[in-house]
Chain A
Amino acid sequence: MNKSVYDTPDQTSVSRRHILTVLVDNEPGVLARVIGMFSGRGYNIESLNVAEVSNDEHLSRITIVTEGTSEVVTQIEKQLLRIVPVHSVSNLDEEGSAVEAEVALVNIDLNDTNKKKIYEVCDFYRARKIENENNSVIFEIAGASERINRFIKEVNQITKIEIVRSGPVAISTNKNNEEE
C-alpha cells in the first residue's frame, strides 16, 4: 500500500502474511516503541509475542505477525531498525525456512453426551488435558496455527468453548542465521 494521499497506484504486489522477529534490548518502553510505530504508521499487527530470551544480556525477542505487500513489510523492517534499542529484524517469511508454533488453552464445557467425541478429537490433535483445582476441563494444544484453527473448529461443532491463544512464535531453521 502506498501511503501518500497523492495517489493510490495499482497494487501490483500481493498482500501476504509475514512473521517478523525483532531482537531488542529489554529496557522500559521498548515494546511501546515497537507497537507504537505500527499504529502510528498505519501498519497491522495480527499477533504479537514478547519474552526475554537472554537474561544476562537483557535481550528480548518480539515476534510480530503482520500482513502487507513486500514493499510495506520492507518499510516496516526499516522503520523498526530506526528504533534505538532494536538490534536486528528478520523477516522469517522471506527467509523461507522457519518453524513456527503457538499455544492455545481451551476451556471445554464437558458433559456425558459429548465427552467421548471430545476426547476423540483431543486425542487426534494431541491436545493435553491440564488438571486444575476447580475440576474444569482445560486442554492445551501447541503447534502450527493452522492445526490449532482446525482443532478449535472441530471442538466448536460439538460444544461451547472458551479459548486463549498465544499467537505464533517462530524461529529460522537456518543454522548460519547470524544475529548479535
Chain B
Amino acid sequence: MKQDKTGAEIVLQSLVDQGVEVIFGYPGGAVLPIYDTLFKQNSIKHVLVRQEGGAIHAAEGYARSTGKIGVVLVTSGPGATNVVTGLTDAMMDSIPIVCITGQVPQHLIGSDAFQECDTTGITRPCTKHNYLVKDPNKLSPVIHEAFTIAENGRPGPVLIDIPKDVQFANGHYTKKEQIIIPSHRLFEPKIFKNDEKINQVVDLISKAKKPIFYIGGGCINSGPKASELVSQFVEMTGAPATMTLMGLGVLGSSHTNSLGMLGMHGMYEANMAMNECDVMINIGARFDDRVTGRLDAFSPNSKKIHIDIDESNINKTIKVDVPVVGDVKSVLTKIIKTWRDKKLKTKQSDIKLWWDKINNWKKIDCLHFTNNQKEIKPQYAVQRLYELTKNKKTFITTEVGQHQMWAAQFYKFEKPNRWLTSGGLGTMGYGFPAAIGAQVANPDALVIDIAGDASILMNIQEMSTAVQYRLPVKIFILNNEYMGMVRQWQELLHGGRYSESYTDSLPDFVKLAESYKAVGLRAKKPEDLDKVINEMINTDKTVIADIWVSKEENCFPMIQSGSAHNEMVLSKDQKQDEVSAEKGKILV
C-alpha cells in the first residue's frame, strides 16, 4: 500500500474526487496543514468567512440552492463550537453538509490543550454522524463515507474531526469507487413492502371527497424532478395542495391548486381545508408543531397518508393510516403509474363541492392589511419586492421572525430551491450567510436576504465576506426597531410588556454598508420604496436596503399556540380572550 500522501493531501484529494467546488471556512492552528495544501492547489475555491457560524450557514445556502453538498472547514475548539448552531440547523432542515474540523494532536487530546474541545462529543446529537479520524489511511474511506451519508436517505450534516498530527502523517489514498459502505449504515428503501401501501394510497385518494395535499421540504430534497411529479399528481387528482414553510416552491404559487402555506402564520383557507379534509396526503413533511397546532384537534376527520423517507417521522406526533417510507421521487413515480394503470379518477362533483367551500374561505382575504401613505407597511414592502424582482432569477433567504413570515406569505415562489429559510431551528442570523452561499453557487442570480433589524446583526460581520468576494448580495431589512415577533407575542400573550424586545442603539445601516465599501440605501416613506428596490436590484454590489416600516405591525393570520387550525386569529379581529392568553403563554 503506497503511503505517499500526507493526511492533509488526502483530505483535499478526497474533496476533489467528491466533486467539491467550494469550501466555506476559517483557518486556525489545528487545520493549518490542510490550509497549506489548499494554498498549493487550484481546483477548489475557498471562501473565507468572518466567523465560523457564517461558514456553515453559507454552506447551507449553497446546498439548498443547488442540491449539492455544502462543505465547511474550521479549526478546533472555538472553530468547532461556533458551527454547532449551523449543524443543528442543517439537522433540523435536512440539509446535506460535510464539516471538517481540526483537532489538537492526538497526544494532547484529553489534556485540556489550547483550543481543544470534545468536538465529536459536542456535535454527536446535532449531526447525522461524526468521526474522529486517528489514522491517515482511514481518512479517505471516512470522507467518502461521510459524503454518502450526508446526502443518503434524509440528508443532514456529517462532521469529521482530524487531529493535526494525522494531517501531517503519511497515508494511503483510497478512491471513492473502492469504498464499500455496509448497507446497515445507509438508508434502504423498502420498495417491496410499499407496493401494497401504494395501492392503499391510490384507493384512498380516488375515493376522497375532500382530499388535500400537504407538501413539505422533503419534496425539495428529493430533487427538482420530485417537485414536477408532485405538481403532476396534484393536477391528476384536482385536489387542493398546501405547502409548509420548507416546502414553498414545490408547487408554483400561481398554480391553480395551490392554497399557499399552512400552519401558524399560514393561509386561512389552507388551515381550514386541513381541518375539514377527509383524506390528507402528506408528502415529505413531518407534522411539525408549527403546522399542526393543537394535536388533538388536528384534522380530526381525515384518513392520513404519510410519505416520508425517515421512518421515525411516521406516527411521531400524529398517527397516520397509510405510511409509505421512501424517497418522494420514487414513491410518486409509483403512485402516478399505479393511478394511470388502474385508470383512477377522483369524483369531479365531490371535488367541485370541496373547491366551492375552499373558495368561500378564500373570500376572507386572510392576508389583508391596511396600507397607508405615511409609513411603509412591511407586507407592502415584500409585495413590492416581489413585483419588481419576479421576472429575474431570484433567490430569497430570510432570517427568523416577522419578516420571515411576511416573506413566506407575500413573496410568491414558482420553483423549488429558490427559497432558503431556517424552518426547524429558527436561527436568527441564518439568512445573510445563506445568501452568500447561494450567491457563490449562483453568481448570475439575484440573491436577496429579507431580514429584520435584530436578526441581521447576528451575522453582520459577513459584510466583509460579501464585499471581499464581490458578491452582490442584497440585504433587505424590514426595520421596525423591534424584535418584531417577540414584541408581537408580548403584545398578544404578555399584556404588552415589551421586555427587552426594543432594539435600541441600532447602527445607521446606510453608513454601516458604506464602511464595508458596500452600498447603503434607505426608504422612509412608501413613495421611496420602488426607487430604492430598483436601485438595489440594479447595483452590482453588496447592498443594504434599510426599509423603515410600521413599528407595531403584527403578523396575521395566526394560530396561537395551543389552538387548532380552525381557530385562527385574523388581522381584523385582534381580540383574544384572557384564558387563551394564559394557556398560550407556556407554549413556544
Contact = CB atoms under 8 A, between A and B. Distances in A.
B partners with A: yes
Interface of A: 2-7, 9, 25, 28-29, 32-33, 36-37, 40, 71, 74-75, 78-79, 81-82, 84-88, 180
Contacts of B316: 75
B562 A6 contact: yes
B129 A28 contact: no
A81 B125 contact: no
Interface residues of B, number: 29
A82 B121 CA distance: 18
Binding site secondary structure of chain B: mixed
A78 B312 contact: yes
Return the 9 tightest CB-CB contacts between A and B, nearest first: A78-B312, A84-B129, A87-B184, A7-B295, A7-B296, A84-B185, A40-B125, A78-B311, A6-B295
6 contacts: A5-B289, A7-B294, A7-B295, A40-B125, A78-B312, A82-B310
Given A29-B124, A74-B315, A6 B149 contact: no
Interface string B268-311: 00000000000000000000010011111000000000000011
A33 B289 contact: no
B290 to A, nearest CB: 10
Contacts of B120: 29
A4 B124 contact: no
B317 interface: yes
Given A6-B294, A78-B312, 6 more contacts: A2-B317, A3-B317, A6-B293, A32-B124, A84-B128, A85-B185
B101 to A, nearest CB: 15
A7 B563 CA distance: 10
Nearest to A180: B184
Contact of B315 (A33, A37, A71, A81): A71
A9 B300 CA distance: 14
A84 B312 CA distance: 14
Contacts of B295: 2, 4, 6-7, 9
A25 B129 CA distance: 13
B124 A88 contact: no
Interface in B118-159: 120-121, 124-125, 128-130, 132, 149
B479 interface: no
Interface of B: 120-121, 124-125, 128-130, 132, 149, 184-185, 289, 292-296, 310-312, 314-317, 561-562, 586-588
A79 B586 CA distance: 28
B289 A6 contact: yes
A82 B315 contact: no
B296 A9 contact: yes
Given A6-B289, A74-B315, A87-B184, A36 B588 contact: no
Q: Which of A32, A36, A78 has the most CB of B within 10 A?
A: A78
A25 B294 CA distance: 40
A74 B316 CA distance: 9
Given A6-B289, A6-B294, A7-B296, A81 B128 contact: no
Nearest to A78: B312
Task: Label chain A's interface by main secondary structure.
Answer: mixed
Nearest to B325: A78
A108 B311 CA distance: 50
Contacts of B149: 84
A2 B185 CA distance: 29
A85 B289 CA distance: 30
B438 to A, nearest CB: 29
Contacts of B312: 75, 78-79, 81-82
Most buried by A among B132, B185, B292, B562: B185
A75 B588 CA distance: 23
Nearest to B587: A5
Contacts of B586: 5
B294 A32 contact: no
Nearest to A88: B184
Given A74-B315, A78-B311, A84-B185, A28 B132 contact: yes
A33 B296 contact: no
A90 B382 CA distance: 52
Contact of A86 (B128, B130, B184, B292): B184
A40 B561 CA distance: 24
A30 to B, nearest CB: 10
Contacts of A75: 312, 315-316
Contacts of A5: 289, 586-588
Nearest to B310: A82
B184 A6 contact: no
A32 B121 contact: yes
A77 B12 CA distance: 38
Contacts of B310: 82
A54 B561 CA distance: 50
Contacts of A6: 289, 292-295, 561-562, 587
A85 B128 CA distance: 11
A103 B310 CA distance: 38
A93 to B, nearest CB: 19
Nearest to A80: B312
A84 B561 CA distance: 35
A6 to B, nearest CB: 5
Contacts of A32: 121, 124
A7 B311 CA distance: 23
Contacts of B294: 6-7
Nearest to A24: B184
B307 to A, nearest CB: 16
Nearest to B319: A71
A139 B588 CA distance: 54
Contact of B317 (A4, A82, A180): A4
Nearest to A87: B184
Nearest to B153: A82
A89 B479 CA distance: 52
Contacts of B296: 7, 9
A5 B561 CA distance: 9
A78 to B, nearest CB: 4
Nearest to A86: B184
A23 B588 CA distance: 37
